[in-house]
Structure 1
Amino acid sequence: MQVDGALDDTQSVETDVEIAVTFTGFGKYNIKVLLLCGLIYMNTGFSISSVGLILPSAACDFQLTTIDKGRISATPTLVVIIVGMIIGAYFWGCLADLVGRKKALLTSTISYAFCEIISSVVSNYWGFLLLKFFSGFSISGHSTVVFTYLGEFQSGKTRERMLCWMEMAWSLGLIALPLTGWLVIPIHISFINDFFSFRSWNLFVIVCALPSVFIGCWLLSFPESPKYLAESGNNYQLAKTLFMMHKENTGNSCEDYLETLSQNGYEQLSLKLRNVQEETTPMSSENQLKRVRQLLANIYQQTLLLMKPPLLRKTANVCSIMFCLGSSYYALMLWFPELFQRFATFEGKSPAAAASVCSVSEQSLSRNQMNYNCLTTIPRTVYVHTLILGIACVPLSVMLPLCVDKLGYKFYLVISTLVASGVALGLLFVKSSIENLILSCIFEAASSIGMSIVLAIVVDLFPTNLRAIAAALCAFCGRLGALVGNHMFGYLIDTHCLILIIIVAVQLLVCSVLGYLLPIGRHPETTVFSLKNVS
C-alpha cells in the first residue's frame, strides 16, 4: 500500500510506526491515554452490570417474570438479537477501519448515552427493551475498539503491561456500580400518571449514562492512533501526533525527537517525518467515494484473510474462547444481584435453614411461578454483596500487569478459566449466602481476568491492518455468547439449575483447553526491534 509517500507495503508501515512510537518514550501521555481507555472500559463494565440492579427495581413497573427479566439484557426474539449483535460488533470494527479508532469510540460512546437517557423515561416495556437493544449495540463498540486504540499508542516493550491494566478499570466499574445503585435506587421518587412514570430506578439509568457524556467530551481532545494514521497514509497528522507524544513524555521538542531517530540509524524515517506537509486541498467527493470503496474492499479482503490459513487457527481459537467466556461470565455476572436477592429473601423467612443456589431458585419458582416479582426495595445485602464482588477483583487486577511479563498471557488465561470452572461447579454445594458470596467473588475475579486477557491477546496476535476486524469478530462472539448465556440462565435457573451449572463449568473448561492451544509463548507476539540507546 502506498499513499502520499507512505511506505511501500503494510509490513514496512507497521515496522516504521512501531519504531516511531517507541522513540516517543514512555511518560505522561501514555498514562493519560491509559486513563481515558480505562474510563471507557470501566464504563463498559459499569453499564453492562447495571442491568442486574435495574431488574428487581423495574419488575413492579413492567410486571416481569423471571424469563422476562432475561429479556431486558436481550431482545425478545433471539434471531433479532443475533442479527443486531452481528451488525453491532462488526459495525464498530469496520467503522474503526473506515474512519479511525477515535471516531468509532466517540460515536459509540455518545450513541450509548443518548439511548440510555431516552430509555430512562420510557414507561412501556417493549419500548424500554428496544432501547436496551440499541444501548447494547452502541456499547459493543467500547470493547471492540478500546483495546486496539490503547495498544496502538504503546511500544512493543510496554504494550503488554498497559493492556493488562485495563482489567483494573473493569474492576473499578464493578465497585462503582453498587455504590451508585445504593445511593440512588433507595431514594423515594414516584411520579406517575396515565402515560408516564418515573421512579428512582429511572434516575439510576440516567446516572449510569452520564459518565459516557464526560468520556465523549474528553475523547475529543485526543488524536487518532499513530498506527491508524500510518496505515491510512495521513503522514502529516501522524508526525503531529508523534511530536506531541514525545513532548508530553519527555518535555523535549520535535527537533530533539527527529535528531534521536537519526542518531539511532533511522535517518529515512526522520526525513519522512520532517518533510511531511499539511494537505491544503480538500479531497473531492469523487475521490472520497473512491477511498470509501477501497476501504470497504480492504475490509472484505481482511476478513477473508482472517478466515484462511495461517490466521484461521488464531481466529477460530480466540473467537471460540470469547463465546464460551461471554456465555459463562455475562450470564452469571448479570444475575449475581438477583441470586443475592433470592438468598436474602430466603434467609429472611428461614434464618436457620440451609439452601443451595438451586434449591433457593426452586423455592422462588414455587412461590411465584405465574406472577411477577414485585419488591418495592432491594435488600441492603444485595448492594453490599455486589460491592464485595467488585472489590474481590482488585487483587488479581493488580497482579496481572505486575506479573504478566514473567508469566505471560497463556498462564493467566489457562489458570483463570480453570479456577472459574471449578468455582462454577462449587455453586452446587453452597449452603448459605456467605458461601455463595465467596464463590461468586472468586468466579468474578477469575473469569473477568480471562475476558480482559483475550481482548489484549487480539491486539498482539494480529497485525495492525487486521487488528480492528479481528477485535470486531472477537467482540461479536463474546456478545453473542453473553446473550445466549443470559437467555439460557433466565430459562434454566428455576427449573434445570443443575444442567445450567454444568454447562457453565464445561464452557470454562473448554476455554482453558483452547487457551493452552493458543499459538503464543510466554510473551505475546509483539514486534520487537533492536533499538540502540533507547531509554
Structure 2
Amino acid sequence: MNKQTPTTSPVDIDDVLKELGFGRMQIFIFVGCFLMQIYVTNEQFGIGLLSVPASCDIDMSGYRVSWMLALGMCSQILFSHYWGHFADERGRRMQLIVSLLTCMVLSLLTSLMPEYWSFLVCRFFVGCFLTGPGMGLVTYMSEFTKISLRPKVLIYLSYSQGIGMVYVAAMAMALLPSDIKIRLVGDYGITSWRILFWINLLPGIAGLIIVWLSPESPKYYLSIHKEQEAMAVLEKCCRVNKGKDVTLKSLGIEYVTQPRRRSEVEVKFRSRNPFVRLWVNTKPLFRGKHLRFMLLALTLSFTLFATGFGLAIWIVRIFEATEDTGGKATLCELMYEHAMRKKEKNDTSFCVIELETLEYSMIIGVVCLCFFIVISLLLICLNRKTIIISFSFIAGCSGFLLNFVHWKPMVLIALIFLSMPSLCSLRLVHSVLVDVIPTHLRSKAMALSTMMGRFGTMLAMIYVGYTYQVFCPITFNLFVVIILLSGGLMFLLPKDAAADIANE
C-alpha cells in the first residue's frame, strides 16, 4: 500500500485494517465485547448456582431444576440460527443491542418471579435472546481486527469466560451467606439470590453502553454495498487510532472494497416470508467450498461443546461427590462409594449451597482462565491447528487415565484436563470459521455452529446425569473416544488464514 500517493483503485478492507492496526477503537470495542461475554457466562453458569438458594422460595428442587436447565438450553438451540440471520440482515451492532438489552430485561423479570412456573417461562425467553450476544460478539470483534491478530484477539476475549465463572462464584460467596430477606408482600421479598441476579447483570449493562457508543462493522456495510457508510466507520477508526490529523486519504486510501460479498440482486431480494429469506440465505453455506468447512465446524462444535461445556457443568457436582469419600480409588470407584453413602444418609436438603461448591466453581474458572492464557502464549510460536490437535490429544489421554489413577487429587486433575482443553479450543475453531466464511454468511455460520454445540451440550448433560453413577466407566470413556475421533478431523482444518484461505 502506497502511503504517500493516493490512488483511485479500491483497497481491500483487510489491508485497511492492517494499516490501521489494533488501536484505541479496537480496544474500546474489545472491552465492550469482553464485558458482554462475562455477562453471558454469568447467565449460563450462574443459573446453576442460583437455583440452589432459590429452590425453597419458588419451590424449585430436584427434577424441576433439570427441566429449567434443559428448557433454557432448548431455547438457545431454537433461536441461534435466527440471531445469525438477523446479524447478517440488520447488522452486527444492531443484533447485539437488541438481543442483549432484551435478554437483560427478561433476566431482571426472572429475578422478580414469585413462583416456579413464571420463573421457568422467563428463563425460556432469556435463553431465546442470550444466544444473540453469545455468538454475535465474536463476529463483531473479529470484523474490526486484522487477519493475523484474529486468533489471538478471540482468545484474549475468551479470558472473560474464566473471569465470569470466578465472578459468579465470588459474588455468591460474598452475598449468599448474609441470607438477606426483605419482606414486601406476604412471604414474597427481596432475598440474597434475587440481588445476586441483579449483580450478574452489571457487566452486561456496561458492555451494552460501550456497544451502543461503537460503530457498526464496516465489513457488514460493504456486504450490503454501503461503501460510503463503511468508509465513514473506517475514517473514524483511523482518526481514533492515529490522531485527528490523519485521514484515510492521507494514507492513500480513497475507496475500499472486499471480495466475496453478496450481489446487489441478493441485497435487494427480500421475500415477505421470513422463513423463505432464512432458507435462501442459508443454502450457500452448504454449497461448494463452504460445505467442507461447515461440516467440519458443526461436527467439532458438537464434540467440543459436549466434552467441554457438557462435562464442565457436572465437574463441580462430581467434586462434591468425591469430597466425602476416602482412600485410593479410581473416579468410578469414588462415585460408587458416594452413591452408597447418599442412600444411607437420605439427604433431602435442597436450599443451602455449600461453601465448597462455590470454591470448586472458582477453581474451575481459574483453571479455564489459565488454559486460555496458555493458548495465547502458544499462539506466539505455533499455529492454531497444531494447538487444537495437541489439546485434543491431552484431553483424550487425561480421560483415559481416569481408568487407572487412584490418588484423588490426580483423579480430579485428570477430569479437569478431559474437559477444559475442549472448552478452550472452541474459540480457535470459531476463528477458522470467521476466516473462511464470507461476511454476508458469517453470522449464520457462527450461529449454526453454536446451535450444534448447544445441542451437544444438552445431550452431554442428560447423558452424564443418567449414567455417571450407574455406568461410570462407559460415561467417561465415551468422551475419550469422541474427543480422539474429533482430533482426527482437526487435521483437515487450515493452518492459517493467509496461507490456506482466500481473503475476503
Verify same fold: TM over 0.5: yes
Residues of 2 paired with 1:369 and 1:202: CA distance?
34
Q: Partner amino acid for 1:462?
A: I
| Residue pairs, 1:269-308, within 5 angstroms | 269=255, 292-293=270-271, 299-308=278-287
Partner of 1:311: 290
Partner of 2:27: 31
How big is the shift at 1:221?
0.2
SS class of match (1:489): helix
Matched, 1:131 2:122: yes
1:171 paired residue among 162, 176, 182: 162
How big is the shift at 1:94?
0.7
Matched, 1:229 2:221: yes
Superposition RMSD on alpha carbons, in Å? 3.2
Mark the CA change 1:35 to 1:383 in structure 2 (over 3 Å): closer, same or farther. Answer: same
Tell me the alpha carbon deviations over residues 200-246 of structure 1, each in whole angstroms, 9 at most, x when there is no partner.
22322222223222221221101111100111233332222111111
Residues of 1 paired with 2:110 and 2:347: CA distance?
21
Partner of 1:499: 474
Residues of 1 paired with 2:321 and 2:376: CA distance?
36
Partner of 1:474: 449
Mark the CA change 1:341 to 1:378 in structure 2 (over 3 Å): closer, same or farther. Answer: farther
Residues of 2 paired with 1:88 and 1:209: CA distance?
21
For the Cα contact (< 8 Å) 2:38–2:204, is it kept in 1?
Answer: no
Partner of 1:435: 410
Residues of 2 paired with 1:372 and 1:96: CA distance?
48
Matched, 1:329 2:308: yes
Matched, 1:509 2:484: yes
For the Cα contact (< 8 Å) 2:309–2:423, is it kept in 1?
Answer: no
Mark the CA change 1:38 to 1:65 in structure 2 (over 3 Å): closer, same or farther. Answer: same
Mark the CA change 1:213 to 1:430 in structure 2 (over 3 Å): closer, same or farther. Answer: farther
Q: Partner amino acid for 2:479?
A: V
How big is the shift at 1:194?
6.1
SS class of match (2:231): helix
Mark the CA change 1:96 to 1:75 in structure 2 (over 3 Å): closer, same or farther. Answer: same
Q: Partner amino acid for 1:44?
A: V
For the Cα contact (< 8 Å) 1:30–1:154, is it kept in 2?
Answer: yes
Mark the CA change 1:249 to 1:452 in structure 2 (over 3 Å): closer, same or farther. Answer: same
Tell me the alpha carbon deviations over residues 135-191 of structure 1, each in whole angstroms, 9 at most, x when there is no partner.
222221123211111111112232232222222222222222221221122221245
Q: Partner amino acid for 1:380?
A: L
Residues of 2 paired with 1:494 and 1:191: CA distance?
40
Tell me the alpha carbon deviations over residues 449-476 of structure 1, each in whole angstroms, 9 at most, x when there is no partner.
2122122221112121221111111011
Mark the CA change 1:302 to 1:520 in structure 2 (over 3 Å): closer, same or farther. Answer: farther
Q: Partner amino acid for 1:202?
A: R
| Residue pairs, 1:391-406, within 5 angstroms | 391-404=366-379, 406=381
Matched, 1:339 2:318: yes
Partner of 1:218: 210
How big is the shift at 1:354?
4.9
Partner of 1:73: 69
| Residue pairs, 1:27-66, within 5 angstroms | 27-61=23-57
Matched, 1:203 2:178: no
Residues of 2 paired with 1:444 and 1:87: CA distance?
25
Residues of 2 paired with 1:422 and 1:123: CA distance?
47
For the Cα contact (< 8 Å) 1:342–1:361, is it kept in 2?
Answer: yes
Residues of 1 paired with 2:411 and 2:66: CA distance?
21
Q: Partner amino acid for 1:474?
A: S
How big is the shift at 1:430?
5.6
Tell me the alpha carbon deviations over residues 323-349 of structure 1, each in whole angstroms, 9 at most, x when there is no partner.
1111222222222222233333x25xx
Mark the CA change 1:412 to 1:99 in structure 2 (over 3 Å): closer, same or farther. Answer: same
Q: Return 5+ residue gaps in structure 2 as ranges.
A: 1-8, 258-266
2:425 paired residue among 439, 450, 454: 450
Matched, 1:99 2:74: no
Partner of 1:240: 232
For the Cα contact (< 8 Å) 1:64–1:372, is it kept in 2?
Answer: no
Tell me the alpha carbon deviations over residues 3-60 of structure 1, each in whole angstroms, 9 at most, x when there is no partner.
xxxxxxxxx99x7322333333332112222222222223222321213323443444
Mark the CA change 1:138 to 1:456 in structure 2 (over 3 Å): closer, same or farther. Answer: same
How big is the shift at 1:477?
0.4
Partner of 1:281: none
Identity of aligned residues (%): 22
Residues of 2 paired with 1:64 and 1:337: CA distance?
20
1:389 paired residue among 357, 361, 364: 364
Q: Return 5+ residue gaps in structure 1 as ranges.
A: 1-11, 273-288, 530-535
For the Cα contact (< 8 Å) 2:302–2:455, is it kept in 1?
Answer: yes
Residues of 2 paired with 1:436 and 1:62: CA distance?
37
1:408 paired residue among 383, 386, 390: 383
Partner of 1:111: 102
Tell me the alpha carbon deviations over residues 397-418 of structure 1, each in whole angstroms, 9 at most, x when there is no partner.
2232343254212111111122
For the Cα contact (< 8 Å) 1:113–1:210, is it kept in 2?
Answer: no
How big is the shift at 1:373?
4.3
Q: Partner amino acid for 1:203?
A: I
Q: Partner amino acid for 2:487?
A: S
For the Cα contact (< 8 Å) 1:171–1:393, is it kept in 2?
Answer: yes
> 94-103 vs 24-33, which deviates more?
24-33
1:460 paired residue among 394, 416, 435: 435
Mark the CA change 1:425 to 1:55 in structure 2 (over 3 Å): closer, same or farther. Answer: farther
How big is the shift at 1:293?
3.3
For the Cα contact (< 8 Å) 2:58–2:116, is it kept in 1?
Answer: yes
Residues of 2 paired with 1:356 and 1:72: CA distance?
32
For the Cα contact (< 8 Å) 1:408–1:522, is it kept in 2?
Answer: no
Residues of 2 paired with 1:246 and 1:293: CA distance?
37
Residues of 2 paired with 1:122 and 1:244: CA distance?
44
SS class of match (1:377): coil
Matched, 1:418 2:397: no
Matched, 1:148 2:139: yes
SS class of match (2:479): helix
Mark the CA change 1:365 to 1:403 in structure 2 (over 3 Å): closer, same or farther. Answer: closer
SS class of match (1:293): coil
Residues of 1 paired with 2:288 and 2:470: CA distance?
44
